[in-house]
């Protein structure tokens, strides 16, 4: 990955130009792993190989311009998954909703769409804690999922009338003469412009324009009798504005595209890009000029995912895995059948409770994900994953058919005599039987062969000790082999490098 | 092939106690006291009220007719408030805090804020955490003071919380913990469990040339591209060492007073963990906890309801914690400070709630505080843009606490001098 050396200055036209593999900067499995970490939720063994065979541009095509056959597969998947959603609305359990979404991330044939829905959930962070209605929370998710890679203008307009949002930021109680400023403020500060690009008076005036919205029959409806139809002045323009026009006014501000592009870069490239402020501004401006033309989210993301910058050392392993990346990624890579409800409980412990972000600002992300407690919880999850037993039949099919949130291990047809710890049967599936073979397998699977010599040396030493430890006399040969697989796999998953995406 | 014994010798963490964060290898000095700051074992517990607490319905000018005009549905009547004097009273849900007032362990500072207040939650919170009005500051006032104190600190958190900006800039990243029992490194059970633990420690051990006690928390340093991996290593290293020590604690802790029931009052649960950390004598000097949901834009309630419930939690948690600590002889070592990013607009809005405002009161609790109301209540008639005006800069209070309580130069931490407030 170090083949191209980018300094703290970078030419925007080079940075955003499509990456083309060459002798000095070849296409590698490490790059495939990197792509899957960012555009999806990690790669499993077969995906690493497929992605390598496709090459960088065709890989992006598959994610953003799927072929007809793939399109049908995606459509079928979402028809089935949406049917499950209707059951969820009756269960009245927000943890089940979180599990359902996590299972989509694990299984969706269109993972980038889920990745972007998660981006928007963080951008328009709305919590069930206040909204209190599962139907509205899922409805908001559906809106974000629908527009996840679509048109930002439509998304921002839809969110401004979304029932969960109307409740979350108090628009439903805002009326003529007594405007509530909550939505107007966050629309400008967090959803479109960023602090410094509006005044307190803009907020107070815009708040008047959003008066009159209520939630009726599960929809956001505008009631003229509660609306302040007087003249308002926002960003220096005068008019009898309603909410919709305020949204358009925000979209017209130069700062809007820049604000969004900066967040896209944080999400797909790095949260702390090692560039001078001047160079970063030039990068943002260049891509914002593209985004502003049509506000097409997919086109902007496509540019990013194809770019030289995306595959540069400025991006590679330059993000901390979010709890969702960490748990869903581990489950996908290990081809685990563990129920998604366990994953939902885990992301909560790790600080990323889906449908319940801590505030309207969303999760801080980056280095904030890791503190003493969350590092220990991450290790505990890895330990649980390594020790979890499942019949090899489940792994041969690779993906659980119906993830209802509960464990897939309850099916009566499974042959329990073959049940073994996950790392053991995964290595067996790919014919890695001996300890050195397993060590190399995990090394390739999790890190695509890219770790420092010191780290490899530590692992080698541990594996050496695993060849013949003082096992208790009553441990069977099978028990010993399983222990070796579990503890070897766990050693890889607790490496500090594994925390990076 | 190397033998296991050799391997253990080469990777063991035993014998590296010089690398252990300084405070974990020290026991608190039992003889220190608050009369001798800097050479003492004084403790600061900071409680953050997240979301912007409505100061006007917390410390109430019940004699001011303007109060009732501004708050037609939310105002508390004179008969309801817990009076501190003939002008000012506490919200009735602060009954337990009023009990501390009568024990002379509560101080109230009115009208606290800063110039050109921001009404963004996030910007204003950053200002309080960094004690700076400048943009993009990456170190907090508590983190910076830990550079001089060179003893420990903890962030006792709920699941959804991340390390507060206030704690950034500390010599080693301040550990966050949510429960003592979960704060340990577990490995698969088997004959190599102990060895595996040691190698996991080894994998994150900072290189010999990087001294962890002076290396900076790399929150936003733009220096070398490997810094993200270094950050993970340092954070993990500090965590593993702390967890080893904490496993000895808390197993048999019995509070001297009863705390609100488990899970009824999450703030009280967190303060109880603080009590255990203090009682264990780890030498931790600064503790940080939060209570969320003060952003009461709608239906905040008066004597009962959303805001009252939050205040009751706050008041009962602080009271139980202080009384427990006092009964164990820590009362005079302890200073509890509350703050929120801003108060709320003087007038209520159309949603029976309140929008973002500015100046608000702070509470100090402890065995050595001045049991007084400091500063007058902000005017309810002179309210530019509907906001209460501050007369005391919060950095004056920080400065007072730094100089007179923690024994740290406030000028060094805050970058300039602020006039002290007679609150300690």
Q: Where are the domains of chain B?
A: 36-183+253-414, 189-246
A269 and A190 inside one domain: no
> CA angle, B341 as apex, B231 and B102 as ends, to 5°?
115
pLDDT of A86: 84
Spatial distance between the Cα atoms of B76 and A349, rounded to a whole number of angstroms: 39
Q: Which of A195, A272, A486 lies nearest to residue B188, judging by beta carbons? A: A486
> Residue A314: its chain B contacts at CB < 8 A?
225
- Model pLDDT for residues A9-68, shown as the tens digit of each residue: 889 999 999 999 999 999 999 999 999 999 999 999 999 999 999 999 999 999 999 999
Interface test with B, best of A167, A376, A423, A475 (most B CBs within 10 A): A376
A179 in the same domain as A212: yes
Same domain? For A197 and A169 the reply is yes
The verdict on a CB contact (< 8 Å) between A470 and B191 is yes
Identify which of B18, B40, B115, B9 has the alpha carbon closest to the alpha carbon of residue B285. B40
Query: How many angstroms away from the CA of B79 is the closest CA of chain A?
Result: 29
Name the residue of chain A whose CA is nearest to B241's CA. Answer: A372
3-state secondary structure of A70: helix
Candidate from B123, B232, B239 with C-beta closest to A372: B239
Question: Can you give the residue range of the structural domain that contains A371?
Answer: 323-499
**Is the same domain home to A369 and A444?**
yes
Question: pLDDT tens across A248-281, in order?
Answer: 999 999 999 999 999 999 999 999 998 988 999 9
Residue with tokens 């679509």: A150
Examine the domain organization and report whether A242 and A259 are in the same domain.
no
Q: What is the mean pLDDT of residues A183-189?
A: 97
* Predicted local confidence at residue A417, as pLDDT: 67
Q: Which residue of B has its CA nearest to A480?
A: B190
Q: Which residues of A touch B120 (CB under 8 A)?
A: 185, 189, 195
Q: Which of A126-140, A469-483, B351-365, B395-409 has the lowest mean pLDDT?
A: A469-483
Stretch B293-302: mean pLDDT, rounded?
Answer: 96
Chain A residue with CA closest to B228: the answer is: A318
- B-facing residues of A in 170-229 (CB < 8 A) are 170, 173-175, 177-182, 185, 189, 195, 200
Q: What is the pLDDT of residue B1?
A: 44
Confidence of residue A408 (pLDDT cuts 50, 70, 90): low
**Structure confidence by residue, pLDDT tens digits, B108-151:** 999 999 999 999 999 999 999 999 999 888 899 999 999 888 77
Chain A, nearest residue to B162 by Cα: A368
**Which residue in B50, B72, B191, B296 has the most chain A C-beta atoms within 10 A of its own C-beta, making it the best mutation to test that interface?**
B191
pLDDT for position B11: 37
Distances (CA, A) of B374 to B191, B333, B361, B367: 63, 22, 10, 17
CB contact at 8 A, A330 and A307: no
For residues A159 and A339, the model is more confident at A159
- Both A380 and A495 in one domain: the answer is yes
Any idea how long chain B is?
424
Query: Nearest-CA distance from B48 to chain A in Å?
Result: 15
**What is the structure's pLDDT at B138?**
86
**Per-residue pLDDT at A377 exceeds 50:** yes
Residues B49-85: tens digit of each pLDDT = 999 999 999 999 999 999 999 999 999 999 999 999 9
Which of B172, B179, B187, B237 should we substitute to test contact with A (largest number of A Cβ atoms within 10 Å)? B187
The proportion of chain A whose per-residue pLDDT surpasses 70, expressed as a percent, equals 93
**Which chain B residue lies closest to A494 (C-alpha atoms)?**
B200
Among A78-92, A472-486, B35-49, B314-328, the minimum mean pLDDT is found in B35-49
Q: A320 and B232: CB-CB below 8 Å?
A: yes
* C-beta atoms of A349 and B218 within 8 A: no
> Are A415 and A345 in the same domain?
yes
A89 domain residue, yes or no: no
Average pLDDT over residues A4-9: 56
Under the banding of pLDDT at 50, 70 and 90, the label for residue B14 is: very low
Least trusted range by pLDDT, from A105-114, A374-383, B255-264? B255-264
Average pLDDT over residues B336-361: 97
Quickly state the pLDDT bin for A84 (edges 50, 70, 90).
Answer: confident
Question: What are the residue ranges of helices labelled H in A40-181?
Answer: 45-54, 56-64, 68-91, 94-107, 111-123, 128-131, 134-146, 152-160, 163-168
A342 — contact with chain B (CB < 8 Å)?
Answer: no
Nearest to A348 among B159, B218, B232 (CB): B159
Query: Both A358 and A449 in a single domain?
Result: yes
pLDDT in tens, A132-160: 999 999 999 999 999 999 999 999 999 99
Cβ contact B239–A375 (<8 Å)? yes
Contacts with B352 from chain A: Cβ below 8 Å = 173
The band of B217, judged by pLDDT with boundaries at 50, 70 and 90, is: very low
**Residues A459 and A358 both lie in one domain:** yes
pLDDT greater than 80 at residue B273: yes
How far A23 CA sits from the closest chain B CA (Å)? 24
Total domain count, chain A: 3
Put simply, the answer to whether A455 touches B203 (Cβ < 8 Å) is: yes
A487·B192 Cβ contact <8 A:
yes
Q: Do the domain assignments include residue A365?
A: yes
Considering the domain architecture, whether residues A290 and A233 belong to the same structural domain is answered as: no
**What are the pLDDT digits (tens) for A418-477?**
689 999 999 999 999 999 999 999 999 999 999 999 999 999 999 999 988 889 999 999
* Fold of the domain spanning B36-183+253-414: Alkaline Phosphatase, subunit A (3.40.720)
Range of lowest pLDDT (A69-83, A323-337, A345-359, B242-256): B242-256
Chain A residues 372-411 with CB within 8 Å of chain B: 372-377, 379-380, 383, 386-387
The answer as to whether A113 is a domain residue is no
Q: Please list every residue in chain B whose beta carbon sits closer than 8 Å to the beta carbon of residue A383.
A: 186-188
Cβ distance B283 to B151 under 8 Å?
A: yes
Boundary of a domain, candidates A212, A230, A252? A252
Q: Under an 8 A CB cutoff, do A375 and B203 touch?
A: no
Distances (CA, A) of A132 to A94, B122, B129: 9, 24, 31
Question: B125-160: b or e for each residue (b if 16 or more CB lie within 10 Å)?
Answer: bbbbbbbbeeeebebbbbbbbbbbbbbbbbbbbbbb
Are A175 and A218 members of one domain? yes
Distance CA A359, CA B51 (A): 9
Phi then psi dihedrals of residue B106, to 5 deg: -125, 135
Q: What is the pLDDT of residue B32?
A: 39
pLDDT tens by residue, B370-397: 999 999 999 999 999 999 999 999 999 9
Which residues, 6 or more positions from A457, have their beta carbon under 8 angstroms from its beta carbon?
none
C-beta of residue B355 within 8 angstroms of C-beta of residue A180 = yes
Is residue A463 in some structural domain?
yes
Whole-number pLDDT of residue A402: 53
Q: Is residue A272 located within the same domain as residue A199?
A: no
Inter-chain residue contact B200 with A368, CB threshold 8 Å:
no
Residue A452 lies in a domain: yes
Q: CA nearest B378: which of B83, B51, B59, B86? A: B59
β-sheet bridge partners, residue A500: A320
**Which residues, other chains included, contact B415 with Cβ-Cβ below 8 Å and sequence gap of 6+?**
B132
pLDDT value at residue A390: 86
How many angstroms separate the CA of residue A201 from the nearest CA in chain B? 10
Chain B touched by A358 (CB under 8 Å): yes
Which residues in chain A are contacts of B385 at CB distance < 8 A?
A: 200
CA distance B87 to B297: 27
Confidence at residue B270, expressed as pLDDT on a 0 to 100 scale = 95
Q: Does residue A30 lie within any of the structural domains?
A: yes
Q: With contacts defined as CB-CB under 8 Å, which chain A residues touch B7?
A: 461, 465
Centroid of chain to Cα A196: 28
CB-based contact B191 A472, cutoff 8 Å: yes
Measured between CB atoms, which of B123, B183, B298 is closest to A373?
B183
User: Mutating which of B51, B161, B190, B290 best tests the A interface, going by the most A Cβ atoms within 10 A?
Assistant: B190
Q: What is the pLDDT of residue B2?
A: 46
Asked whether residue A411 carries a pLDDT value surpassing 60, the answer given is no
- Å between B318 CA and nearest CA of chain A: 23
Q: How confident is residue A376, by pLDDT bands cut at 50, 70 and 90? A: very high
The set of residues, in sequence order, having a beta carbon less than 8 Å from that of A227 and lying 6+ positions away, is: A175, A176, A211, A212, A242
Kindly report the nearest CA distance between residue B298 and chain A, in angstroms. 7
Query: Residue B238 in contact with residue B145, Cβ under 8 Å?
Result: no
| Cβ(A415)–Cβ(A393) below 8 Å | yes
CA dihedral A133, A139, A142, A147 (to 10 degrees): -120
Predicted confidence band of residue A413 (pLDDT cuts 50, 70, 90): low
Please report the pLDDT score of residue A136 as a whole number: 97
| Cα–Cα dist B270/A338, whole Å | 32
Are B297 and A180 within 8 A, CB to CB?
A: yes
What mean pLDDT do residues B224-245 have? 82
**In chain A, positions 90-119, which contact chain B (CB-CB < 8 Å)?**
none
Residues of chain A with Cβ-Cβ distance to B229 below 8 Å are 317, 496-497, 500
Taking the Cβ of residue A438 and every Cβ of chain B, the question of whether any pair is shorter than 8 Å is answered with no
Assign B209 a pLDDT band (cuts: 50, 70, 90).
low
Interface contact B203-A179, CB threshold 8 A:
no
The pLDDT of B195-210, averaged and rounded, is 83
Query: What's the Rg (C-alpha) of chain A?
Result: 24
Average the pLDDT over A297-311 and give the result. 98
State the pLDDT confidence band at A407, using cuts at 50, 70 and 90: low
Average pLDDT, chain B: 86
Q: Which of B2, B121, B188 lies nearest to residue A387, judging by beta carbons?
A: B188
pLDDT of residue A500: 97
**Cβ(B351)–Cβ(A173) below 8 Å:** yes
Nearest to A353 among B51, B160, B355 (CB): B160
Average pLDDT over residues B92-106: 98
Q: Three-class SS string for chain B?
A: CCCHHHHHHHHCCCCCHHHCCHHHHCCCCCCCCCCCCCCCCCEEEEEEECCCCCHHHCEEECCCHHHHHHCCCCCCCCCCCEECCCCEEECHHHHHHHHHHHCCCEEEEEEEECCCCCCCHHHHHHHHHHCCCCCCCCCCHHHHHHHHHCCEEEEECCCCCCCCHHHCCCCCCCCEECCCCCCCCCCCCCCCHHHHHHHHHHHHCCCCCCCCCCCCCCCCCCCCCCHHHHHHHHHHHHHHHHHHHHCCCCCCCCCCCCCCCCCCCHHHHHHHHHHHHHHCCCCEEEEEEEECCCCCCCCCCCCCCHHHHHHHHHHHHHHHHHHHHHHCCCHHHEEEEEEECCCECCCCCCCCCCCECCCEEEEEEECCCCCCEECCCCCCCCCHHHCCCCCEEHHHHHHHHHHHHHCCCHHHHHCCCCCCCCCC
Average pLDDT on B347-352 reads 94
Over residues A404-415, the mean pLDDT reads: 56
pLDDT reported for residue B227: 86
What's the pTM?
0.81
Of B196, B229, B353, the CB nearest to A487: B196
| Residue A383 C-alpha, separation from nearest chain B C-alpha, in angstroms | 7
User: What pLDDT, on a 0 to 100 scale, did the predictor assign at position A397?
Assistant: 53
Q: Are A166 and A199 in contact (CB under 8 A)?
A: no
């Amino acid at each position: 990955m170090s083949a191209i050396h980018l300094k703290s200055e970078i030419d925007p036209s080079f940075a955003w130009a499509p990456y083309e593999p060459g002798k000095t900067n070849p296409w590698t499995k490490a790059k495939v792993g990197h792509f899957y970490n960012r555009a999806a939720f990690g790669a499993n063994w077969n995906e690493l190989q497929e992605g390598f065979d496709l090459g960088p541009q065709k890989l992006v095509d598959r994610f953003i311009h799927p072929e007809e056959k793939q399109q049908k597969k995606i459509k079928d998947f979402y028809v089935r998954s949406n049917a499950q959603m209707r059951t969820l609305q009756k269960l009245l359990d927000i943890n089940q909703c979180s599990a359902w979404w996590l299972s989509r991330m694990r299984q969706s044939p269109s993972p980038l769409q889920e990745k972007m829905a998660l981006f928007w959930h963080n951008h328009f962070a709305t919590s069930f804690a206040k909204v209190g209605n599962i139907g509205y929370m899922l409805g908001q998710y559906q809106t974000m999922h629908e527009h996840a890679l679509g048109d930002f203008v439509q998304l921002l307009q839809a969110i401004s009338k979304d029932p969960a949002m109307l409740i979350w930021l108090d628009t439903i109680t805002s009326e003529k003469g007594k405007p509530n400023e909550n939505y107007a403020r966050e629309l400008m500060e967090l959803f479109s412009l960023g602090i410094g690009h509006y005044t307190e008076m803009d907020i107070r005036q815009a708040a008047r324009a959003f008066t009159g919205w209520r939630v009726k029959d599960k929809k956001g409806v505008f009631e003229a009798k509660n609306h302040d139809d007087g003249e308002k002045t926002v960003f220096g323009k005068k008019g009898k504005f309603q909410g919709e026009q305020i949204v358009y006014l925000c979209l017209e501000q130069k700062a809007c595209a820049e604000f969004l592009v900066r967040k896209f870069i944080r999400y797909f490239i790095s949260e702390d890009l090692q560039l001078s402020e001047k160079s970063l501004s030039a990068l943002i401006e260049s891509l914002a000029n593209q985004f502003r033309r049509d506000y097409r989210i997919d086109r902007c993301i496509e540019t990013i995912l194809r770019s030289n910058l995306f595959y540069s050392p400025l991006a590679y392993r330059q993000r901390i895995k979010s709890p969702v990346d960490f748990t869903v990624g581990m489950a996908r890579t290990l081809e685990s059948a563990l129920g998604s409800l366990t994953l939902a409980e885990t992301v909560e412990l790790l600080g990323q409770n889906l449908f319940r972000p801590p505030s309207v600002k969303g999760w801080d992300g980056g280095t904030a994900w890791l503190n003493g407690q969350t590092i220990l919880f991450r290790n505990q999850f890895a330990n649980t994953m390594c020790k979890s037993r499942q019949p090899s039949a489940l792994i041969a099919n690779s993906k659980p058919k119906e993830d209802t949130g509960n464990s897939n291990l309850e099916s009566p047809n499974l042959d329990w005599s073959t049940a073994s710890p996950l790392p053991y049967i995964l290595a067996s599936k790919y014919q890695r039987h001996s300890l050195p073979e397993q060590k190399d397998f995990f090394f390739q699977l999790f890190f695509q062969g890219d770790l420092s010599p010191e780290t490899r040396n530590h692992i080698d030493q541990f594996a050496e000790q695993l060849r013949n430890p003082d096992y208790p006399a009553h441990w069977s040969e099978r028990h010993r082999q399983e222990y070796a697989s579990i503890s070897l796999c766990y050693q890889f998953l607790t490496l500090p490098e594994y925390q990076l995406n | 092939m190397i033998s296991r014994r050799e391997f253990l010798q080469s990777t063991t963490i035993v014998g590296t106690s010089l690398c252990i964060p300084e405070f974990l290898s020290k026991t608190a000095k039992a003889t220190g006291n608050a009369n001798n700051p800097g050479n003492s074992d004084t403790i600061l517990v900071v409680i953050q009220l997240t979301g912007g607490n409505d100061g006007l319905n917390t410390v109430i000018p019940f004699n001011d007719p303007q109060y009732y005009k501004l708050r037609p549905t939310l105002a508390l009547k004179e008969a309801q408030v817990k009076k501190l004097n003939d002008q000012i009273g506490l919200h009735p849900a602060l009954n337990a805090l009023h009990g501390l007032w009568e024990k002379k362990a509560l101080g109230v500072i009115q009208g606290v804020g800063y110039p050109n207040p921001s009404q963004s939650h996030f910007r204003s919170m950053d200002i309080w955490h960094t004690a700076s009005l400048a943009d993009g500051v990456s170190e907090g006032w508590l983190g910076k003071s830990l550079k001089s104190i060179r003893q420990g600190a903890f962030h006792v958190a709920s699941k959804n919380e991340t390390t507060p900006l206030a704690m950034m800039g500390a010599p080693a990243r301040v550990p966050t913990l949510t429960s003592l029992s979960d704060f340990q490194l577990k490995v698969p059970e088997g004959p190599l469990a102990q060895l595996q633990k040691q190698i996991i420690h080894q994998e994150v051990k900072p290189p010999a040339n990087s001294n962890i006690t002076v290396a900076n928390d790399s929150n936003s340093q733009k220096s070398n591209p490997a810094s993200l991996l270094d950050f993970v290593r340092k954070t993990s290293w500090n965590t593993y060492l702390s967890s080893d020590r904490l496993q000895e604690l808390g197993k048999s802790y019995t509070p001297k007073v009863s705390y609100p029931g488990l899970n009824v009052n999450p703030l009280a649960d967190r303060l109880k963990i603080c009590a255990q950390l203090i009682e264990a004598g780890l030498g931790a000097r600064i503790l940080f906890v939060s209570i969320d949901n003060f952003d009461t834009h709608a239906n905040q309630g008066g004597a009962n309801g959303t805001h009252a419930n939050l205040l009751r939690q706050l008041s009962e948690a602080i009271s139980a914690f202080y009384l427990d600590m006092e009964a164990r002889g820590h009362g005079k070592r302890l200073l509890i400070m509350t703050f929120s990013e801003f108060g709320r607009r003087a007038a209520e809005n159309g949603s029976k709630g309140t929008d973002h405002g500015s100046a608000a009161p702070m509470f100090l609790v402890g065995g050595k505080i001045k049991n007084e109301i400091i500063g007058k209540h902000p005017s309810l008639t002179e309210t530019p843009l509907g906001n209460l005006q501050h007369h005391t800069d919060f950095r004056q209070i920080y400065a007072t606490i730094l100089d007179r309580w923690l024994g740290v130069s406030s000028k060094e931490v805050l970058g300039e001098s602020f006039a002290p407030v007679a609150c300690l």
